[in-house]
Amino acid sequence: MKNRLGQFLIVAVVFAFMAAGTAMAADTIKLGVAGPHSGDLASYGIPTIKAAELVVKDINAKGGVLGRQVELLVEDDVCKPEVATNTATKLVSEGVHVVLGHICSGATKAALGIYKDSNIPVMSPSATNPALTQSGDYPNFFRTIASDDAQARLEVDFALDVLKLKKIAVLHDKGDYGKGLAEFAKAFLEKDPRAEVVFYEGITPGAVDYSAVVQKIKKSGAEAVIFGGYHPEASKIVTQMRKKRMDTIFISDDGVKDDTFIKVAQKYAEGVYATGPKDVSSNPMAIAANEAHKKAYGADPGAFYLNAYSAAIALLNAIEQAGSTDYAAVTNALRTKDVETPLGKIRFDDRGDAIGVGFSMYQVKDGAYVELK
Amino acid sequence: MDYFFELFLGGLTRGSIYALIALGYTMVYGIVQLINFAHGEIYMIGAFTALIVISVLTMLGWNQIAILLIAAGAAVVYSSAYGYTMEKIAYKPLRQAPRLSALISAIGMSLFLQNYVLLAQTSDFLPFPALIPDFEFMEPIAHIIGSPELVILITTTIVMVLLTFLIKFTKIGKAMRATAQDRDMAQLVGVDVNRVISVTFIIGSATAAIGGVLIASHIGQINFYIGFIAGIKAFVAAVLGGIGSIPGAVLGSLVLGWTESFFTGYISSDYEDVFAFVFLVLILIFRPAGILGRSTSEKV
Amino acid sequence: MWIEIETPMLANELKKSFLASLWFMFLTFPIMVIRVNTVEKIIQWRWANLFFVGIGSFILSALWRYLIRRKEQGIHRTEVDGIARVTLSQRLLGDRRFTIPALIITTIAALVFPFVFSIYQTNIMITALIYVMLGLGLNIVVGLAGLLDLGYVAFYAVGAYSYALLNYHFGLGFWTVLGIGGGLAAMFGIILGFPVLRLRGDYLAIVTLGFGEIIRLILENWNAFSFGPSGIANIPRPGLFGIDLDIEQATIYVYFLMIAMTLFTIFVVNRLQNSRIGRAWIALREDEVACQSMGIDKRKTKLMAFALGATWAGFAGVVFAAKTTFINPASFTIWESINVLCVVVLGGMGSIVGVIVGAFILILLPEYLRFLSEYRMLAFGTVLVMMMVFRPGGIVETVRRTYQYKETDH
């Protein structure tokens, strides 16, 4: 008992000194990186670390920001709100100046309050929940990805203006992301007199089959399904619809615009529409960023890599422009000064959304997603 | 009426998927009185083994039917081996311990196996090839019930019949029943209880592997977590039917499948799982040992 | 009693270990050696892993058999001597020379902790204390009354959501809701208790599991009530007579609040354990039929266990919501129930000190082992199995209160 307590104390003291040690390590600019770096959602968080590492290496080689070197503080939040608050307090107590993250909307919301109280600007490459910027609760929050309602707007406009549909079913996976998106889609459709929502329900993710829901969609007479959620469920639903010989149009979101979807659903994926970030593959900075990743890690970059790359550039550029790490000056610089990033030239509006970052509609043609112009 | 019929068939498919997993669950429970929480993980390992074998053999350019047979065989062998080893490590030393200890050990095993596959393989979903071809004779009704569904239905029936036969009419079955009734007494009359329990785990795991391969090929994708989700549902189904009873597991699974299907079809899929659990509670209030379970009177 | 390892035995041991390592190399071959990626159509061969598995399982299997033998020897010795083995932890806990200094040290450590360590450390400590409270609550249901509850997280959710919602709609403060949250959770405990009165063992486990899922699914689906999966943000931290606290002060305040509440919980649970109802629970756990024949009202006793156990989860939930300032249904999955159950079982069922130790180990270890984060769940699973096999009573085994007749000289 006593021995164990002793060991614990030693460990605790060592950790405390380590924390104190990093805090005293003179005047570097501290860029925090937070997100899921372990667990089942790690694949969404790790590309952000790599992006930050590459940007920081680049900037430090050029002499740093304001003549100071940039130091990375990487912390895991496993995408869980309760862990994210620990992560945030850890970063704050280590004296972080700006934070790149968090990745999941729920974790971001939980952590933001802590950053707000400590006057630290936060920029997420991936948290798309509309309330983050629209509620006005978080003046310290910015993001380099468009919010879910923009995506829902695009899906609905596409269905009504381009496809000229009249009866639409809205489906979601009951998750934070999927349900939020589906609610916006439903609200937009209900406001528009041209179409009606004939069906609105949530499915249970991970279920072994969705035939009952598919039957119900068939019975509802919908011409198209707008689905909010991720690709594993989307591929099951599309496959079951096509096997039941339904040619209902399937429109979905960023979570489905993933090559795994096409690999799983195979021939049934043909013709599926999905929204995704605008194609920037012709942007020279994006090409350079992707090349740098391939050179450093020997593989193609993962999810939200370019968004994270742009966010890191935007944050460090704002500190440079502001001339200090002062909260008011940095946020002001983010809102007023344009910055050249792999996503194009961006600036942030009063709510924290990036101006000039948006979505386009893609369609699966011959086994690949093609951007529709 | 058509709509009703289609929901009925949907529920039947769903139910027979649950049944394939629930059969192994209930069998182990019937003989050892242990909730094998890691049963779902054995199912997942079966599916992964099959996928690995298929990928390697496809790369070597073998022919389709040979691949199918070898993959299924490998899945059964490996799942059984995992089930056997698991019993030896996590359950056998706990034979005399309280029931709760064995359950915690099973939860630990389940966590271990999930993360073992997560770390050794990947956290992403992997596409699983469709192994069952679309039969020609099914073509006219393919929009109502597909070939994979039909194969799952038939397999479930065969497995149920075989298991019942095994337990009722073979020598090892007799030993199993004796072990289930009274382990000490069985040992006294010369039943090798350790062997019986090992065989039970091997057979239970083999059925899980068959389920793993068929269901994965029907759904078309797998990851490390599929076992846990399916395992919980199969557990509910087995309890619903009366845990320990083989026909009960099938009946419970079908009832659960139909409940979910009709509830989704006529009311809403939002509360599908809520309803499934409420239904379970209702059944257990009126029949505390499940639909086909024998309610044993207390021995004092 | 001593077993000496002789040479033929050593050879035998080596052979056994060798066979075990061969078996595990076969077992792990497909999953450890071959990694397939059916998206990119890549197959990777990792032969080195096979080697590691072989070496690892050779050593582990020898260790395993050694430990099993030691355990059996222990049991054997108990049978021969006729007296129960008293473990080190039990001896220490019974010895005042140890307990009093230990208590003093713990008190001082607890008091200075937030001033010595960073806010991050304090924050983690609050989480650990919340789990102590949850563990002690579940201990009433599982440890004392012997009712296996796999849906304990439901009451935690009830507490958390009652604070978030009552605050959002009616602006109620932390202290008001603390009482209401506990009360609501107790009510839900009784609601769950009624239908499961007749069920026992494994049926009880699955129904409580279902109950936990039902609560979570309702929170997820009923947007108008609970704001659905996107959760509720900006929940205020507990106030201190209207003084504005910055984040560091607020954390320290919550920390001391949690210390006070934990002490209160320990006090109440300790009193409960030795009370009439506490003994009724233990009797119920040991033998339901005998318990009833002694005139104990089974119905009332079980419902009391559910209600009292749930109350603590309700309190803990309110504090949790106030501490994180954001909640959503994803924090209340079945894994959370399993986590709390593991706290209780790992620490030692029925033992208060055990539950406290269990909570600290289970919550602090993963935080300090962040660099091992990928392997932490794997290790967690392994620890659970090992613990059950080699030390089924938990870290701190409970000593049954025994009354002995001793002859004394007058």
DSSP 8-class letter at A269: G
Are A105 and C230 within 8 A, CB to CB? yes
Range B274-284 average pLDDT: 87
CA distances for A72 relative to A31, A48, A176, A315, C36, angstroms:
5, 12, 30, 13, 34
In a shared domain, residues C75 and C123: no
Q: Which two tokens stand for residue A250?
A: 């399937």
Decide if A39 contacts A78 (C-beta within 8 A): yes
Q: Which residue of B has its CA nearest to A261?
A: B127
CA distance, residue A157 to nearest chain B CA (Å): 26
In a shared domain, residues C22 and C152: no
Quick one: CA dihedral A115, A75, A61, A308, positive or negative?
Answer: negative
Q: Which of B105, B115, B300 sits opposite C377 (nearest CB)?
A: B115
Range A273-283 average pLDDT: 85
Are C326 and A81 within 8 A, CB to CB? yes
CA distance, residue B216 to nearest chain C CA (Å): 14
Q: How many CB atoms lie within 10 A of CB B89?
A: 16
CA distance, residue B53 to nearest chain C CA (Å): 8
Task: Give pLDDT tens digits for B133-159.
Answer: 777 777 777 777 788 888 899 999 999
Report whether pLDDT(C299) > 80.
yes
Task: Give pLDDT tens digits for C169-211.
Answer: 988 888 889 999 999 999 999 988 888 877 777 788 888 888 9
CA distance C73 to C69: 6
Q: Strands of A339-341's sheet, edge to edge?
A: A339-341, A344-348, A354-355
In a shared domain, residues C28 and C122: no
Decide if A108 contacts A127 (C-beta within 8 A): yes
Tell me which of A160 and C203 has the higher pLDDT.
A160
Using pLDDT thresholds of 50, 70 and 90, give the confidence band for residue A90.
confident
Nearest CA-CA partner of A267 in A367, A368, A362 = A367
CB of A170 within 8 Å of any CB in chain B? no
A19-23, A343-347, B117-121: the lowest-pLDDT one: A19-23
- Determine the angle formed by the axes of helices B2-32 and B39-60, rounding to 10 degrees: 110
DSSP 8-class letter at B292: S
Are B104 and C43 within 8 A, CB to CB? no
Asked if residue C406 is part of any domain, the answer here is no
Task: Give pLDDT tens digits for C24-41.
Answer: 988 888 888 888 877 667
Q: Which residue of A has its CA nearest to B130?
A: A264
Tell me which of A257 and B300 has the higher pLDDT.
A257
In a shared domain, residues C225 and C350: yes
Q: Which of A12, A106, A135 sits opposite C328 (nearest CB)?
A: A106
In a shared domain, residues C252 and C367: yes
Q: Is the ipTM of this complex over 0.90?
A: no
Nearest CA-CA partner of C218 in C329, C334, C336 = C329
Nearest CA-CA partner of C147 in C200, C209, C185 = C200
* Sequential DSSP letters for C27-42: HHIIIIIEEEETTTTE
Cα dihedral: C178, C184, C190, C193 (round 10):
-90
Q: Which of A1, A8, A114 sits opposite C92 (nearest CB)?
A: A1
CB of A208 within 8 Å of any CB in chain B? yes
Pick the CATH number of B10-286 from 1.10.3470, 3.30.110, 1.10.10, 3.90.220: 1.10.3470
Using pLDDT thresholds of 50, 70 and 90, give the confidence band for residue C399.
low
Tell me which of B99 and C128 has the higher pLDDT.
C128
CA distance C3 to B284: 52
Using pLDDT thresholds of 50, 70 and 90, give the confidence band for residue C404.
low
In a shared domain, residues C66 and C131: no
Decide if A140 contacts A116 (C-beta within 8 A): yes
Are B285 and C195 within 8 A, CB to CB? yes
**Residues of chain A contacting residue C99, judged by C-beta atoms under 8 Å apart:** none
Decide if C332 contacts C153 (C-beta within 8 A): yes
Asked if residue C95 is part of any domain, the answer here is no
Alpha helices in A199-350 (DSSP H): 211-220, 231-243, 259-265, 284-297, 305-322, 327-336
Q: Which residue of B has its CA nearest to C216?
A: B274
CA distance B223 to C76: 45
**Domain residue spans in chain B?**
10-286
CB of A204 within 8 Å of any CB in chain B? yes
In a shared domain, residues C57 and C185: no
Alpha helices in B33-63 (DSSP H): 39-60
CB of A113 within 8 Å of any CB in chain B? no
CATH code (residue C209): 1.10.3470
**Residues of chain C contacting residue A263, judged by C-beta atoms under 8 Å apart:** 38-39
CA distance, residue C155 to nearest chain A CA (Å): 17
Are C389 and B94 within 8 A, CB to CB? yes
Residue to mutate among A38, A46, A204, A259, with most B CBs inside 10 A, is A204
In a shared domain, residues C269 and C369: yes
Tell me which of C10 and B23 has the higher pLDDT.
B23
Q: What residue type is C15 in one-letter code?
A: K
Task: Give pLDDT tens digits for B43-54.
Answer: 999 999 999 999
Are A236 and B219 within 8 A, CB to CB? yes
In a shared domain, residues C69 and C147: no
Report whether pLDDT(A329) > 70.
yes
Task: Give pLDDT tens digits for B152-182.
Answer: 999 999 999 999 999 999 999 999 999 988 8
Asked if residue C402 is part of any domain, the answer here is no
Tell me which of B143 and B31 has the higher pLDDT.
B31
Nearest CA-CA partner of C196 in C185, C204, C188 = C204
Tell me which of A176 and A54 has the higher pLDDT.
A54
Are B270 and A265 within 8 A, CB to CB? no
Are C233 and A110 within 8 A, CB to CB? yes
The SS3 call for residue C44 is strand
Please tell me the predicted confidence (pLDDT) of residue A32: 92
CA distance C168 to C166: 5
Determine phi and psi for A346, rounding to 5 degrees.
-125, 160
In a shared domain, residues C204 and C307: yes
Are B284 and C199 within 8 A, CB to CB? yes
**Residues of chain C contacting residue A16, judged by C-beta atoms under 8 Å apart:** 116-118, 121
Asked if residue C96 is part of any domain, the answer here is no
Q: Which two tokens stand for residue A29?
A: 């600019």
Q: Tokens 């950053």 correspond to what residue?
A: A115
Report whether pLDDT(C7) > 70.
no
The SS3 call for residue A25 is coil
C253 burial type by CB count under 10 A (0-12 exposed, 13-18 middle, 19+ buried): middle
Please tell me the predicted confidence (pLDDT) of residue A20: 45
Q: Which domains, from first to last, does chain A contain?
A: 2-145+282-355 (3.40.50.2300), 149-271 (3.40.50.2300)
Are C121 and A180 within 8 A, CB to CB? no
Report whether pLDDT(A124) > 90.
yes
Judged by phi (left if over 0) then psi (alpha if -120 to 50, else beta), residue C391 lies in beta
Using pLDDT thresholds of 50, 70 and 90, give the confidence band for residue A1.
very low
Range A86-107 average pLDDT: 88
CA distance, residue C80 to nearest chain A CA (Å): 29
Decide if A84 contacts A77 (C-beta within 8 A): yes
**Residues of chain A contacting residue B146, judged by C-beta atoms under 8 Å apart:** 243
Using pLDDT thresholds of 50, 70 and 90, give the confidence band for residue C4.
low
* Sequential DSSP letters for A173-195: -SSHHHHHHHHHHHHHHHH-TT-
Decide if B21 contacts B38 (C-beta within 8 A): no
Question: Which other chains touch chain C, taking contact as 3+ CB pairs less than 8 Å apart?
Answer: A, B
Long-range contact pairs involving B62-70 (C-beta distance under 8 Å, separation at least 24): B68/B131
With residues binned 3-state (H G I as helix, E B as strand, rest as coil), the percentages for chain C, rounded to 5, are: 75, 5, 20
Find the domain containing C63 and state its range: 7-81
What is the tally of structural domains in chain C? 2
CA distance C263 to C272: 14
Q: Which two tokens stand for residue A356?
A: 């000039």
**Residues of chain C contacting residue A135, judged by C-beta atoms under 8 Å apart:** 233
Report whether pLDDT(C400) > 70.
no
The SS3 call for residue C199 is coil
The SS3 call for residue A255 is coil
CA distance, residue C240 to nearest chain A CA (Å): 17
**Residues of chain A contacting residue C233, judged by C-beta atoms under 8 Å apart:** 109-110, 112-113, 131, 135, 137
Range A238-258 average pLDDT: 89
Q: Which of A93, A176, A260 sits opposite C119 (nearest CB)?
A: A93
Decide if C179 contacts C335 (C-beta within 8 A): no
Are C214 and B115 within 8 A, CB to CB? no
Q: How many CB atoms lie within 10 A of CB B46?
A: 33
In a shared domain, residues C58 and C160: no
Are A243 and B18 within 8 A, CB to CB? no
* Sequential DSSP letters for C136-153: HHHIIIIIIT----S-TH
In a shared domain, residues C183 and C250: yes
Tell me which of B296 and C51 has the higher pLDDT.
C51
Are A106 and C102 within 8 A, CB to CB? no
Count residue pairs from A and C with Cβ separation < 8 A. 123
Please tell me the predicted confidence (pLDDT) of residue C49: 86
Range A10-16 average pLDDT: 50
CA distance, residue B114 to nearest chain A CA (Å): 11
